[in-house]
Amino acid sequence: MSLQKHEMPSQAPDVRNKNFYEVTLGYTAETAIDEAKRCLNCKNKPCMGGCPVRIHIPEFIAKVAEGEFEEAYHIIQQTSSLPAVCGRVCPQETQCEQKCVRGIKGEPVAIGRLERFVADWHNANSCDLPVKAEPNGHKVAVVGSGPAGLTCAGDLAKRGYEVTVFEALHLAGGVLVYGIPEFRLPKLIVQKEIDNLIALGVKVETNMVIGRVLSIDELMGEYGFEAVFIGSGAGLPRFMNIPGENLKSVFSANEFLTRVNLMKAYKENSRTPVFHAQKVAVVGGGNVAMDAARCAKRLGAEEVSIVYRRSEAELPARAEEVEHAKEEGIVFRFLTNPTAILEGENGLVSGMTCIRMELGEPDASGRRRPVEVPGSEFTIDCDAVIMALGTSPNPLIKNTTKGLDTQRWGGIIADERGQTSRPGVFAGGDAVTGAATVILAMGAGKTAAESIDAYIRSKHQ
């Protein structure tokens, strides 16, 4: 049996960096069956321990090995509401696959790729609608339709709750639709997963900014929701507070990605404009920075560089995304920190002054702290800058909900079960932790659904 995972076919780097089609193409049925046979079906299932939503991994893989793809899907669906998404964007290398026994000698089983295959197969071949649960007569509101909210909504609907999801934008999906680009996560797939939830009975109300149009108190008062889950994410972009940051061709990654992904500004017929730059500097080293850089390249920029103040080893982005970015021609400038953005003609960017950094002692997070090298300033030639420095929770809900305790930086305080300082109000995902990953948000949504179920049951005993 092979020590390596089966390769997943993908578009060639110099082809894909000019289009927005999905980079990786997925397994065929034959490859999926072959890969599934690499699973040893361990008794103690360590892989499951690495999955935040605890998918029954060996069981679904056994069904794939037998060619029973629809049955495999039903096993995944018991615990996960968004398998086509997770199979694509989870960092499996630090989760399920990290715990895989086959990884001790050789490569782990490609759990993510198999999950993706099963979900895609179901979406392409099955017309079965999910079976709605028997209604239990209780109403729950979910604020935000990102991964945390969708997972919470799906789990509650499966238990018979009448769930309404309130979304501020015109499309549901949160970061899955406005943040992660089409070439990593096709939007049709996200829509399909949301349609599956709607078939389960979940109502999705778009264009509803909770905190403005309705408050949490109104939801729980006159609208009769017995519990509320807040999964409003961390969408408030950070800037550096350096000179020149308000120049015309300086963007937050959120703005740039929202234009490109949600508003589809990369398409010829989109009515939302996006700035087409020749030389783009993206500041930051996370997945969002990689996404922004790769989008800029696809929009036709000659040169796109990632400007990061630490070294390659500290990059917070997934290794696979960094690899993909490099293959597509993205330049990396490590140990470099911007100090000012320079103004050229018409209020546009003409360059960026940076300073060299070196790594000092480890900080509280355990990463070595970058320290400026005195007198090492230099200028990067660029005509646009994208700031991908992370985001914080939006203060709108905090400011309009009395008695909801938050951290000083804005995160909602919730215990490990998702309970906030307000009875009946639960929270999870980036709204609680600050910007993190899709799968952690889904795990938090799942846990909160269990807590909400227990809370409502306890009230009616």
**Binding residue for other proteins, selected from 132, 248, 457, 459, defined by CB under 8 A:** 248
φ and ψ at residue 301, rounded to 5 degrees: -65, 140
**Selected range binding other proteins among 164-172, 182-190, 313-321, 322-330, rule: CB under 8 A:** 164-172
Range in contact with other proteins (rule: CB under 8 A) among 189-197, 211-219, 292-300, 425-433: 211-219
Q: Is 132 in the site for other proteins (CB under 8 A)?
A: no
Q: 257, 178 in Cβ contact below 8 A?
A: yes
Which of positions 298-357 make contact with other proteins (CB under 8 A)? 346-347
The CA dihedral of 253, 254, 260, 262, to the nearest 10 degrees, is 160
Select 81 or 252, whichever has its Cβ closest to other proteins: 252
Q: Which stretch binds other proteins (CB under 8 A): 1-9, 71-79, 155-163, 263-271?
A: 263-271
Q: How far is the CB of 418 from other proteins (least distance, A)?
A: 23
Q: Are 133 and 157 in contact (CB under 8 A)?
A: yes
Range in contact with other proteins (rule: CB under 8 A) among 44-52, 122-130, 210-218, 295-303 = 210-218
**Residue 235 to residues 33, 151, 214, 259, 286, Cα–Cα distance (Å):** 40, 19, 19, 15, 15
> Which one of the spans 59-67, 187-195, 246-254, 290-298 is the region binding other proteins (CB under 8 A)?
246-254
Pick 36 or 216: Cβ nearer other proteins: 216
Is residue 259 close enough to count as binding other proteins by CB under 8 A?
yes
Can you give the length of the chain in residues? Answer: 461
331 Cβ contact partners less than 8 Å away, ≥ 6 residues apart? 303, 304, 305, 306
Q: Which of 59, 71, 255, 450 binds other proteins (CB under 8 A)?
A: 255
| Binding residue for other proteins, selected from 53, 85, 109, 214, defined by CB under 8 A | 214
Instruction: Please give the structure tokens belonging to residue 232.
Output: 């409003």
The answer to whether the Cα torsion of 345, 349, 351, 355 is positive or negative is positive
Task: Decide whether 175 or 448 has the Cβ nearer to other proteins.
Answer: 175
Nearest Cα neighbor of 94 from 320, 285, 415 is: 320
Q: How far is the CB of 410 from other proteins (least distance, A)?
A: 11
Residue 251 contacts other proteins per CB under 8 A:
yes
Q: How far apart are the first and last CA of the chain?
A: 55
CB of 207 to other proteins, least distance (A): 4
In contact, 278 and 383? CB cutoff 8 Å: yes
How far apart are CB 154 and other proteins at their closest, in Å?
24
Give burial (CB, 10 Å; 0-12/13-18/19+) of 110.
buried
**102 vs 259, beta carbon nearer other proteins:** 259
Q: Give ∠ CA 151-153-154 in degrees, rounded to 5.
A: 65
Closest CB 284 distance from other proteins, rounded Å: 14
Does residue 239 belong to the site contacting other proteins (CB under 8 A)? yes
Q: Which of residues 394-413 bind other proteins (CB under 8 A)?
A: 394-396
Binding mask 42-81 for other proteins (x = CB under 8 A): ----------------------------------------
Q: Which is nearer to other proteins, 236 or 359 (CB)?
A: 236
Which residues 6+ apart lie within 8 Å of 32 measured at CB? 64, 69, 113, 114, 117, 118
| Closest distance to other proteins from the beta carbon of 55 (Å) | 31
Q: List the interface residues with other proteins, window 264-293 (CB under 8 A).
A: 269-273, 275
Task: Summarize as ranges the residues that interact with other proteins (CB under 8 A).
Answer: 168-170, 206-209, 212-214, 235-237, 239, 241, 245-249, 251-252, 254-255, 258-259, 263, 269-273, 275, 346-347, 391, 394-396
